[in-house]
Amino acid sequence: MRILVLGGGGREHAIVWALARSRHAPEILVAPGNGGTEPSATNVPGLDIDDPVAVAAFAAGCDADLVVVGPEAPLVAGVADAVRARDIRVFGPSRLAAQLEGSKEFAKGVMRRHDIPTAASHAFESDEVDRAIAYIKRSPFPIVVKADGLAAGKGVTVAETRAEAIDAVRESFGGRFGDAGCRVVIEEFLSGPECSLLAFTDGETVETMAPAQDHKRALDGDQGPNTGGMGVYSPVPSVDEKTEAVMADLLVRTVKGLASEGVRYRGVLYGGFVLTEGGPKVLEYNARFGDPETQVLLPRLSSDLVDVMLAVTDGTLDHVKLRWKKAAAVSVVLASGGYPGDYEKGKPISGIGEAERVPGVMVFHAGTARSKGGELVTAGGRVLDVTALAPTLAQARDRAYEAAAKISLDGMQFRSDIAVRALGTGA
Ligand code: AMP
Ligand code: GLY
């Protein structure tokens, strides 16, 4: 079996790692991959993974049996449709289904039509600045202004004042996020802890994974700017079974709601929830695995990932019961100095071997590459995900930090409080 994975971050390294352990012993290609995906896989540089025609031609040319799409951009561009049109199995939703992530207003429409609780909101087009401002003036604060389309996590402003909210609208319409910002969604601020729940779905059956908690801000104590995610843990002790069941039901209703409109969703559906006093509400959907959530979820999964992915693509997920390890997992992101702002690349990295000798530790690469001389160097903002599995969250956290301390790279930055909140709530 030959599998082509698209993407090159920590999420894709974790996917490659899990696929490589399958009983199917697949041959894996990863485009572009990173400094950690070889030797489990063959890295494929130079393929434009956002180009549906190029990806479909490459997948056909290399006789791939399955294509796994990691990031959102190729999905929203229609890569899954193009691959499927060649009769090649593809793990990831169609262009239309991926609009759940690709357009906030599309997602809001689905939620409105199927009674899925979310923040009250209103969408405005770029010729409706005055109406947007009037809406802001009538609304309580804080208020949230979002670019409608994909903006790599940067399109959201939580505005404390009218002036901030109006600025955010003007900036978005002014082209700050390109086409993604031509429409804005202005929404009610939801207060409460955030929690991610991801599910595998073939469009009918929905199999949820374990809850995970990301840490979006750059600095300890949830201070500093938003990032792609600085660390994550799973399970989440503060989420009780009832809350988890409510979140799972909202994902089921989303998939069934789309199906009732003729849209079949296949792949991973990621629900970002806020646990409000009135119960969980959907903050956003993602049409893919989370990054860094995947780096704790896949190490906890005992089921064979290839079997699960084939069941998703073939519509037989009802025959699969996901099995999970009891072990807890904590993953700490080691980032380049300056991230999420400007940072330098090409810094040598050392100590990964020593880190991986700590029991239960896996180091997933995110932004790494091999220099011409074969040396491992930094190549991105988030560089490594140091993940530890252990019987308890407290032990997993200790192991992750013990391992992280063995790694050096010039200017390295990381949060020292990943999973601290969970331990305060009785883990
Ligand atoms: P998103 O890109 O939609 O994940 O938003 C990024 C972050 O902004 C979220 O993780 C939240 O912390 C925050 N956020 C977005 N929408 C809201 C909202 N309606 N209420 C409160 N916080 C929000
Ligand atoms: N961890 C957040 C995301 O994957 O979007």
175-201 tens-digit pLDDT: 899 888 888 889 999 999 889 999 999
pTM: 0.95
Ligand closest in space to the Cα of 155: 1
297 confidence band (pLDDT: 50, 70, 90): very high
CATH of 120-188, one of 3.30.1490.20, 3.10.20.80, 3.40.630.10, 3.40.1190.20: 3.30.1490.20
Beta-bridged to residue 271, according to DSSP, are: 197, 285
Q: Which CATH architecture has domain 194-319?
A: 2-Layer Sandwich (3.30)
Mutate to test the pocket of ligand 2, among 214, 226, 236 (most ligand atoms within 8 A of CB): 214
pLDDT tens track for 317-357: 999 989 999 999 999 999 999 999 999 999 999 999 999 99
DSSP 319: G
| % of the chain residues with pLDDT over 70 | 99
Residue 426 is predicted with a pLDDT of 40
For residue 232, give the ligand 2 atom closest to its CA. Answer: 1
The structural architecture, per CATH, of the domain 2-92 is: 3-Layer(aba) Sandwich (3.40)
Give the pLDDT mean for 119-148. Answer: 91
The Å distance, Cα 273 to ligand 1 centre, comes to 9
What mean pLDDT is predicted for residues 29-53? 97
Neighbours of 276 (CB within 10 A): 14
79 and 69 in contact (C-beta within 8 Å)?
yes
Q: What pLDDT, on a 0 to 100 scale, did the predictor assign at position 175?
A: 82
Which atom from ligand 1 is nearest to the alpha carbon of 121? 19
The count of C-alpha atoms lying within 13 angstroms of the C-alpha of 361, restricted to the half-sphere facing its C-beta, is: 26
Q: What integer best gives the mean pLDDT of the chain?
A: 95
Ligand lying closest to the C-alpha of residue 276: 1
Does residue 427 surpass a pLDDT of 50? Answer: no
Q: How far is the CA of 290 from the centre of ligand 2 (A)?
A: 4
pLDDT band at 152 (very low <50, low <70, confident <90, very high): confident
* 274 Cα–ligand 1 center, Å: 9
- The closest ligand to the CA of 272 turns out to be 1
Q: What is the pLDDT of residues 77-117, one digit of tens each?
A: 999 999 999 999 999 999 999 999 999 999 999 999 999 99
- In DSSP notation, 214-267 reads E--EEEGGGEEEE-S-SEEEES-TTS-HHHHHHHHHHHHHHHHHHHHTT----E
| Distance in angstroms (rounded) separating the CA atoms of residues 427 and 399 | 16
Q: Which fold has domain 328-423?
A: Glycinamide Ribonucleotide Synthetase; Chain A, domain 4 (3.90.600)
- What average pLDDT does range 8-37 have in this prediction? 97
What residues does ligand 1 touch, defined as CB less than 6 Å away? Answer: 119, 144, 153, 156, 158, 187, 189-190, 194, 216, 226, 272, 283-284
CB of 293 closer than 8 Å to CB of 214: yes
Q: What is the pLDDT of residue 419?
A: 95
Question: Which has the minimum average pLDDT: 14-18, 190-194, 287-291?
Answer: 190-194
pLDDT the model gives residue 173 = 87
Q: How far is the CA of 177 from the centre of ligand 1 (A)?
A: 17
Q: Which residues line ligand 2 (CB under 6 A)?
A: 214, 229, 286, 290-291, 293
How many helices (H) and strands (E) the chain has is answered by 14, 24
The answer for residues whose C-beta is within 8 angstroms of residue 202's C-beta and 6 or more apart is 266, 311, 312, 313, 314, 315, 316, 317
For residues 407-421, give the mean pLDDT: 95
Q: What is the DSSP letter of 189?
A: P
Choose one of 75, 156, 195, 196 to mutate for the ligand 2 pocket test, by most ligand atoms within 8 angstroms of C-beta: 196
**158, 185, 226, 230, best to mutate for ligand 1 pocket (most atoms within 8 Å of CB):** 158
Q: Which ligand 1 atom is the nearest neighbour of the CA of 191?
A: 21
| Tens digit of each residue's pLDDT (9 = 90 or more) over 241-272 | 999 999 999 999 999 999 999 999 999 999 99
Q: Does residue 166 have a pLDDT over 60? A: yes
101: CA distance to ligand 2 center in Å? 11
Q: Where exactly are the structural domains of the chain?
A: 2-92, 120-188, 194-319, 328-423
Tokens of 412: 């390295």
| Site to substitute for ligand 2 among 12, 286, 418, most atoms within 8 A of C-beta | 286
| 187 alpha carbon, closest ligand | 1
Give phi and psi for 353, each to the nearest 5: -60, -45
pLDDT score at 151: 86
Q: Residue 95 C-alpha to ligand 1 middle, in angstroms?
A: 23
